[in-house]
Amino acid sequence: MKPVRLLLLISLACAGLCSLLTLWPGFRVYADAGDKTLKNWQVMWIGPKEAALASPPAEGSWLTSTPERPLTAIPEGSAGMWVHLVVPPTSGWQIPGLLADRLYGLDIAVYEGTRLLYESKRDFMFERNKLLLPLDSSEEPADLYIRILSVKQAGPAEAIRIGEYEPLSQRFVREGLPDFLFGTAIAFLGLIMSVCSGYLNRRQRGSWVSLCLIALSTGILIAAYSQPPYLYFEEYGNLFLFLFDLSLVVLFPALNAYVGRVFDGRFPLYVKFSKLQAGYSAFCLPVIAWHYTTGERNFALYDFFTNTVLGPLVLLQMLLIVVLAVVYAVRGSKDSLILTAGIFSLALSGALDLTFFYLSEERYVLILWKIGVALMIFSLVIILARRISADYSKLVSHSRELEMYNHRLQRTEKMKIISDLAASVAHEVRNPLQVTRGFLQLLAQKSDSANERYYHMAINELDRASTIITDFLTFAKPELDTVERINLSEEMNQVVTIIHPLAAMHGGDLHIEIEENLYIEGNASKFKQAVINILKNSIEALPPDGRIEIEAYAGEREVTIRIADNGEGMEEEQLARLGEPFFSTKTKGTGLGLMVTFRIIEAMKGTLEFRSEVGKGTEAIVRFPLAEENLVPDRIRA
């Protein structure tokens, strides 16, 4: 899943970049500073019987239109408009041209007198248009008449530029291209996400598919609402409009489904509204299909259901999402807050766009919703990045835990094998050793003084072997024969008394700081054995004039014993192997001492942890649970 998510992250970043290009004016190509703009023109409405005329009727009345108050709404009973432009002298440009960036109309014809200069016809209902026209170089002003036939809107909606044809042509090509690229990027992202949905489980797939539909339909809406497809692929104009309408009725139910999952179905009113809107969108599907099948004669009915009714319904949906998003943002996690902020920005920008659209007297171009989409994508990028980071951290954590459990399992298996072997060997060997020791003592009593010391050496070696066997038995059977309440201060003082001569022989100094009235549960004898083993290892690692610190203090529910020396220290590899069977850092060591120590502490429900640094020393930290205060100090049978 990681490569798939990385691909999605790259796609989201590309979509976000396209959105920035869409909103950044610096990307757009503007005409040269030497261009002239026509800030007023005359318009005349065309009657139904005048649509075929090549020139405006002489008896018609002209109205003045400006970029500030453009006359574009076609009154009832009219088929379009004539536009009269007075073009200034064009001799100052090598190849003069005229550009109308924002022009409404389906069929456009440009005349100079009775000479036809340009003609364009559309058989689909997309009235947003453009006009780029090369002009003849002239030192005198010229009159141009533009005949525009349309249904709802006609005529220029902003100033008309006169200038050098090449820069105007570049502006004509690139204007609106960022919107188209942004839309195709979002749609491509939706396709990738739909492919990835097969890798998800059933519970995750619902939200994911909703998000796929949102991305796909949003991308198609943005691309189909831009002008480039209708300028360069006019033969597919009806297909683009059909995809636009289809995406429109799919987007908002998908958004309801996705937002409903974010809100966890906590708002019954929103659930009912979602079902209502889904039902209406399902009703609009055959209406749209019927419209594109039968042609423009049913346009009024189609426009009523897909514009007049659907628009306010979407506006209500956006306002409802805004209100619920504000309520839910207070309750959610960080990811929920980020997602809610993205939904809020999309809903708010969409609501403002629709409000301006319905309140505007002229045709309003929807632009704010693209900003909302960009912010929504940005929030998705953040969420996806957070999830990738969280998944990676979780993977690393699980890997470490798995490695630790595997290490513990291997150690447990080794311990089991060695325990069984140690118990068997110790039992079989101990009796012969005791018999041999007894015979050696008898022989030593009857031998001369010259051989007596050799008998004593043999007996000492047998005692050392017996000690090793005792360690084997302790390792093989660490269970406590008796459990008692141990006074830690008393036992530690006894241990220090026992170990102090050995520390003095090695030139070491013991510093003790033990709190009073610390009690733990366990076996006093085995506790002292474990602590002595740790102290012996510290003493043997001490340099001349070494120092060992012994502390014992109580925590909230445990007692901590800290034994730290300034000896040789250990490397990380050695530190990790402490407690393994027969591992020792000493040349003559067997490793049994620490093995026994670990087993005793584990049997007393404690933990042993070592920290070490080469050249600075080693620190052993032993933790035991505090004894319950109501446990009587008398010995209790296990």
- Chain segment 399-418, per-residue pLDDT in tens: 888 988 888 788 777 767 76
Continuous segment of H or E residues that includes residue 617 = strand 617-625
Mean pLDDT of the chain: 80
Band of the pLDDT at 591, cuts 50, 70, 90? low
Q: Cα(17)–Cα(185) distance, rounded to whole angstroms?
A: 10
Phi, psi of 147 (to 5 degrees): -95, 120
Closest Cα partner for 17 from 393, 377, 529, 476?
A: 377
For a pLDDT cut of 90, what percent of the chain falls above it? 16
- CA angle at 384 for the pair 378 and 389, rounded to the nearest 5°: 130
Band of the pLDDT at 255, cuts 50, 70, 90? confident
Phi, psi of 487 (to 5 degrees): -85, 110
Q: What does the pLDDT read at residue 201?
A: 65
Q: What does the pLDDT read at residue 555?
A: 83
Kindly give, in sequence order, each residue whose CB lies less than 8 Å from that of residue 425, ignoring residues fewer than 6 positions away: 469, 472
User: Per CATH, which fold does 34-174 belong to?
Assistant: Jelly Rolls (2.60.120)
Stretch among 1-15, 250-264, 383-397 having the lowest mean pLDDT: 1-15
Residues in the chain: 638
Sheet with strand 558-565: strands edge to edge = 509-514, 547-554, 558-565, 617-625, 607-613
Average confidence (pLDDT) over 137-163: 91
Q: Cα(148)–Cα(232) distance, rounded to whole angstroms?
A: 20
Q: Cα(610)–Cα(601) distance, rounded to whole angstroms?
A: 13
Residue labelled with tokens 């039992």: 427
Kindly give, in sequence order, each residue whose CB lies less than 8 Å from that of residue 533, ignoring residues fewer than 6 positions away: 593, 594, 596, 597
**Residue 631 pLDDT > 60:** no
Strand, coil or helix: what is 551? strand
Q: What does the pLDDT read at residue 329?
A: 72
Residue labelled with tokens 């929030």: 379
Q: What does the pLDDT read at residue 83?
A: 94
Q: What does the pLDDT read at residue 588?
A: 56
Yes or no: say if 579 and 594 are a contact pair by the CB < 8 Å rule.
Answer: yes
CA dihedral 327, 333, 335, 339 (to 10 degrees): -10
Q: Does the CA dihedral 180-185-188-194 come out positive or negative? A: negative
Give helix 177-196 / helix 202-225 axis angle, nearest 10°. Answer: 160
Band of the pLDDT at 633, cuts 50, 70, 90? very low
Of the segments 55-69, 201-215, 253-267, 316-330, which one has the largest average pLDDT value? Answer: 55-69
Q: What does the pLDDT read at residue 173?
A: 84
> How far from 610 is each of 88, 560, 578, CA to CA, in Å?
92, 13, 8
Neighbours of 450 (CB within 10 A): 7
What are the structural domain ranges in the chain? 2-23+177-394, 34-174, 412-474, 479-637
Query: How far apart, in Å, do the first and last CA atoms of the chain sit?
Result: 53
Q: Cα(118)–Cα(110) distance, rounded to whole angstroms?
A: 5
Q: Cα(135)–Cα(114) distance, rounded to whole angstroms?
A: 15
Yes or no: say if 531 and 561 are a contact pair by the CB < 8 Å rule.
Answer: yes
Q: Cα(100)–Cα(118) distance, rounded to whole angstroms?
A: 13
Closest Cα partner for 163 from 112, 228, 88?
A: 88
**Residue 2 pLDDT > 50:** no
Report pLDDT digits (tens) over 592-627. Answer: 678 778 888 888 889 999 898 888 889 999 999 988
Kindly give, in sequence order, each residue whose CB lies less than 8 Å from that of residue 192, ignoring residues fewer than 6 positions away: 7, 8, 11
Q: What does the pLDDT read at residue 563?
A: 93
Neighbours of 236 (CB within 10 A): 14
Higher pLDDT, 447 or 150: 150
Class of domain 479-637: alpha beta
Q: What does the pLDDT read at residue 394?
A: 85
Burial (CB count <10 Å: 0-12, 13-18, 19+), residue 217: buried
Q: What does the pLDDT read at residue 362?
A: 55
Average confidence (pLDDT) over 513-526: 88
Burial (CB count <10 Å: 0-12, 13-18, 19+), residue 363: middle
Of the segments 178-182, 363-367, 386-390, which one has the largest average pLDDT value? Answer: 178-182
Q: What does the pLDDT read at residue 25?
A: 41
Average confidence (pLDDT) over 208-218: 84
User: Which residues pair with residue 96 across a beta bridge?
Assistant: 164
Q: Cα(426)–Cα(442) distance, rounded to whole angstroms?
A: 24
Phi, psi of 218 (to 5 degrees): -65, -45
Q: Cα(617)–Cα(633) distance, rounded to whole angstroms?
A: 37
Closest Cα partner for 520 from 630, 628, 627, 634?
A: 627
Q: What does the pLDDT read at residue 581?
A: 61
Report pLDDT digits (tens) over 34-87. Answer: 788 898 999 999 988 888 788 888 778 899 999 888 898 899 889 999 999 999
CATH tag, 2-23+177-394:
1.20.1070
Q: Cα(65)–Cα(157) distance, rounded to whole angstroms?
A: 9
> How far from 188 is each of 19, 181, 219, 396, 634, CA to CA, in Å?
14, 10, 8, 32, 77
Continuous segment of H or E residues that includes residue 54 = none
Band of the pLDDT at 378, cuts 50, 70, 90? confident
Q: What does the pLDDT read at residue 508?
A: 86
Report pLDDT digits (tens) over 196-208. Answer: 777 766 766 777 7
Report pLDDT digits (tens) over 102-121. Answer: 899 999 999 988 889 999 99
The two beta strands, 509-514 and 547-554, are parallel
> What is the reported pTM?
0.56
Of the segments 381-395, 430-444, 505-519, which one has the largest average pLDDT value? Answer: 505-519
